[in-house]
């Protein structure tokens, strides 16, 4: 066993020379064997060990007995020990969370606290080959992909290390007996209330006896294959997103749908999964159903489709763009603009549009006009061709414009569609109209009907400021 541990440390770069390592010790055979193995290797790696034990407060006297055992073990080995007691049962009441999930969270918080207090480099955990197999089966039953079927990682987040991850339980017991080490037994390991226990005590023996006598070896090999392939797919996905210059989730993420479609379906799934994970709590993520829903949105017929996902994620299609962002439940900075926006215009005069946080200035100027002064937000038109009165409002059904340089009029809605302006942005584009038609789609296009010619004597200048 010690040879395997040494090989694991070297192959997966688990521990460096001089590291301070926090060892999670429950008192069971796995954690005691881990502590002993690392003690034997400590001169070789010049590492400092600190044991950490959490009493979950769930097993009464048995839990107190385990804590005293760990303290005594560490005294005999000359290893410093940190203990903490938690009332998991009280914490779980009304939380809607299982004891297993809550215990795991509290345990990892405790280990992180100890590591911080001791300025430790690594946290060693005692998961073995059988824990790996149980995890793979649990994730398979839950419908996981390669990320779940890879099981427990040898190294996670560069700090959590599992030197026993490929060691069998019989090897652990033989190691403990050879070194005269005792350990405690957890009576809760036989309770069928927990899914992992049912898998360990009922499902695996049934499958091993009647279907595959080498089941544990087979599933462990499967987890290794899935781990390597998952690492490769993750690296390829990260490279693609880096090439697209996709940053963090703050403010939203935009990717081109055509670029997404250029990749294999498996990579498309991975890309969407990776992006959605940026918006979700650690360890929660989203499921395959959510990923397929996003991909369906990119291939559907609606170029302005909106999808609402868990964790307050909005995914919107804007023609060839896919936009993801956190839902804003209390939006104050960007007021909602409705189709009822409507202002009468006086020339000269200024129309202040509080809904947009912008204004329009109307003034009369004499010809000629310097072509350089014409911009997307500054427009000039022949004032004598304007059929007063003027007004400013947002688009309504039936609005038409004769775009500059074109013959015949078009519906403004159709023009928006041709320009691929997303539906939710159209109500933020004001229109300038007279009594006949739309004269200017602000920042987009002016009407041919009021263009300036050599005969123009009076010019209307409109500035969108």
One-character DSSP codes across 318-342: ETTEEEEEE--SS--SS----TT-E
One domain for residues 352 and 451:
yes
Q: Judge whether 452 and 427 are in contact, CB under 8 Å.
A: no
Which distant-in-sequence residues (6+ apart) come within 8 Å of 416 by Cβ?
395, 426, 429
Judge whether 244 lies within some domain.
no
Residues 288 and 318 in one domain: yes
Reported pTM: 0.67
Q: List, as one string, the DSSP characters of 176-245.
A: HHHTT------GGGG-TTSHHHHIIIIIHHHHHHHT-TTHHHHHHHHHHHHHHHHHHHHHHHHHHHHHTT
> Strands 349-353 and 358-365, how do they pair?
antiparallel
Mean pLDDT by 10 residues, the chain (465 residues): 96 96 96 98 97 84 91 97 88 72 88 96 97 94 88 94 96 97 79 80 95 96 95 95 81 90 95 90 73 89 84 88 78 47 86 82 88 85 92 88 86 82 81 92 90 91 91
Q: Does residue 58 form part of some domain?
A: yes
How high is the pLDDT of residue 77? 97
How far apart, in whole angstroms, are the C-alpha atoms of residue 362 and residue 458?
13
What confidence score (pLDDT) does residue 414 get? 84
Supply the CATH number for residue 147's domain.
Answer: 3.40.50.620
Where among 326, 359, 376 does a domain terminate?
326
Tell me: do 121 and 192 sit in the same domain: yes
Q: Is residue 190 located within the same domain as residue 152?
A: yes
Taking the C-alpha atoms of residue 377 and residue 360, their distance in angstroms, rounded to an integer, is 9
Joined together, the tokens standing for residue 349 give 């005069």
Which residues are 393's β-sheet partners?
Answer: 342, 431
Q: Nearest-CA neighbor of 271 among 282, 261, 283, 281?
A: 261
What is the pLDDT, as a whole number, of residue 380?
Answer: 93
For residue 23, with 0-12 CB atoms within 10 Å meaning exposed, 13-18 middle and 19 or more buried, which class applies?
Answer: buried
CB distance 360 to 392 below 8 Å: yes
Does residue 242 sit within a domain? no
Number of domains observed in the structure of the chain: 3
Query: Are 283 and 349 part of one and the same domain?
Result: no
Q: Give the rounded distance of the alpha carbon of 414 from its chain centre.
A: 36
Q: Are residues 321 and 436 in the same domain?
A: no
Helix (H) or strand (E) holding 390: strand 390-393
pLDDT at 333: 42
In a shared domain, residues 423 and 348 = yes
Sorted by sequence, the CB contacts under 8 Å of residue 424 that are 6+ apart come out as 304, 306, 316
How is residue 24 written in tokens? Answer: 């999670």
Q: What confidence score (pLDDT) does residue 335 get?
A: 45
In a domain, 235, yes or no: no
349 & 320 share domain:
no
Range of the domain at 270: 255-326
- What's the CA angle centered on 422, arms 311 and 301, to 5 degrees? 85
Instruction: For residue 87, give the 3-state DSSP assignment.
Output: coil
* pLDDT score, position 334: 43
Indicate whether 279 and 215 sit together in one domain: no
User: Residue 304: which CATH number?
Assistant: 3.30.465.60
Residues 320 and 352 both lie in one domain: no
């Amino acid at each position: 066993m010690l040879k395997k541990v040494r090989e694991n440390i070297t192959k997966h770069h688990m521990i460096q020379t001089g590291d301070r390592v926090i060892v999670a010790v429950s008192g069971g055979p796995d954690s005691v064997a881990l502590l002993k193995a690392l003690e034997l290797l400590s001169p070789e790696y010049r590492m400092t060990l600190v044991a950490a034990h959490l009493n979950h407060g769930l097993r009464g006297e048995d839990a107190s007995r385990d804590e005293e055992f760990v303290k005594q073990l560490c005294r005999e080995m000359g290893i410093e020990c940190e203990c903490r007691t938690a009332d998991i049962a009280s914490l779980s009441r009304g939380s809607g969370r299982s004891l297993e999930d809550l215990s795991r969270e509290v345990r990892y918080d405790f280990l992180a606290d100890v590591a911080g207090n001791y300025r430790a480099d690594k946290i060693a955990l005692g998961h073995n080959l059988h824990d790996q197999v149980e995890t793979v089966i649990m994730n398979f039953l839950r419908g996981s992909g390669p990320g779940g079927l890879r099981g427990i990682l040898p190294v996670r987040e560069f700090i959590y290390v599992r030197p026993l991850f490929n060691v069998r339980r019989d090897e652990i017991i033989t190691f403990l007996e050879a070194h005269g080490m005792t350990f405690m037994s957890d009576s809760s390991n036989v309770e069928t209330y927990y899914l992992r226990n049912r898998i360990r005590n009922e499902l695996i023996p049934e499958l091993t006896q009647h279907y595959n006598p080498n089941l544990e070896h087979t599933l462990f090999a499967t987890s290794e294959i899935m781990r390597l392939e998952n690492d490769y797919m993750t690296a390829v996905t990260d490279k693609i997103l880096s090439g697209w210059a996709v940053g963090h989730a703050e403010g939203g993420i935009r990717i081109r749908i055509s670029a997404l479609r250029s990749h294999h379906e498996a990579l498309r799934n991975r890309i969407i999964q990776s992006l959605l994970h940026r918006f979700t709590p650690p360890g929660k993520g989203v499921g395959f159903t959510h990923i397929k829903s996003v991909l369906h949105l990119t291939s559907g017929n609606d170029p302005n489709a909106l999808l609402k996902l868990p964790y307050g994620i909005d995914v919107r299609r804007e023609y060839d763009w896919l936009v993801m962002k956190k839902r804003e439940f209390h939006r104050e900075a960007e007021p909602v603009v409705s189709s009822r926006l409507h202002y009468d215009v006086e020339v000269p005069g200024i129309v202040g549009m509080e809904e947009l946080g912008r204004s329009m200035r109307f003034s009369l100027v004499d010809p000629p006009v310097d072509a350089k002064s014409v911009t997307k937000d500054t427009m000039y038109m022949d004032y004598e061709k304007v059929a007063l009165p003027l007004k400013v409002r947002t688009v309504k059904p039936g609005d038409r414009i004769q775009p500059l340089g074109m013959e015949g009029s078009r519906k403004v809605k159709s023009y928006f569609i041709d320009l691929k302006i997303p539906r939710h942005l159209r109500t933020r584009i004001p229109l300038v109209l007279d009594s006949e038609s739309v004269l200017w789609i602000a920042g987009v296009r002016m009407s041919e009907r009021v263009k300036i010619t050599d005969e123009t004597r009076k010019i209307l200048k409109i500035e969108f400021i």
